[in-house]
Amino acid sequence: MMSTSSYPESDEELSEASMDDMQAVVNMCGDVYHGIDYLPSTFPHLLHGPGVKAFVYKVKGELVAFTSTQLQAGGQYLLFLASRVKVAWQGHGIYSRFRRKIFEHFSDKELYPDLRHETVTVTAGNSHAKGGRMRNAGWHLVMTRHSRMRGFEASNLHQLRLKKPTHEVTAMVRDEFLQLLQAGSRHWLHLFPQKRIIHSWKSYVVTEDNLDLILGQS
């Protein structure tokens, strides 16, 4: 394995992922999430679907990274659904170069004339240890990069940080968030300037009609 500074960009290859890449992608990181990796069962959905496009990244023919994206809201938003980097290449800047090439692909104004934002999911203490296994807390708040995607600037991206990412904190944040939504739109619309929320890695427009869906009551 080489660092990203030890090979020319001509050795790099970005291509659209296919089912033939599945085993290589799954094997990149070995045991993930203590034996409950979601990737094998969801891989087909990460390749095909409305607005979905997945990519693999190779260096000198070696598959070193994978990511799946989805265009949303009529092609205005780009959401990264899932990503993996081969263990031996982690910490060497490979994912940054991979993302840059993906952004270059989506910067084609003829193919993607309406794309302006990258939609980012964050978790409020997204997992906790129980019985030696990691269990996903399953609630995702919303963050939207408001800067124009053409410039790839992250200066306006605000991150949610918790000092104690425990299950108790997650439950508290989730309960408070549910109470806020149920209290009526005047209490929470100001939190979502573009009226969008991400729940379970999917983006929804925040409206009264969508509340049941967002709250999992339908």
For position 197, what pLDDT does the model report? 54
Cα 83 to its chain centre, rounded Å, is 7
* CATH 3.40.630.30 domain locations along the chain: 1-115
Distance, CA of 19 to CA of 162 (rounded, Å): 37
For position 52, what pLDDT does the model report? 92
Rg (CA), the chain: 19
Chunked into runs of 10 residues, the chain (218 residues) has average pLDDT values of: 57 92 88 70 86 93 93 81 89 89 89 78 38 32 32 32 40 56 68 53 49 47
Q: Are 198 and 141 in contact (CB under 8 A)?
A: yes
Q: Which CATH architecture has domain 1-115?
A: 3-Layer(aba) Sandwich (3.40)
Q: Are 104 and 148 in contact (CB under 8 A)?
A: no
Sheet holding 12-16, edge to edge: 12-16, 52-59, 62-72, 77-85, 117-123, 140-145
For position 167, what pLDDT does the model report? 44
Paired tokens of 162? 């918790």
For position 180, what pLDDT does the model report? 64
Distance, CA of 159 to CA of 56 (rounded, Å): 27
For position 53, what pLDDT does the model report? 94
For position 193, what pLDDT does the model report? 55
The SS3 assignment for 197 reads strand
Q: Is the pTM of this model over 0.75?
A: no
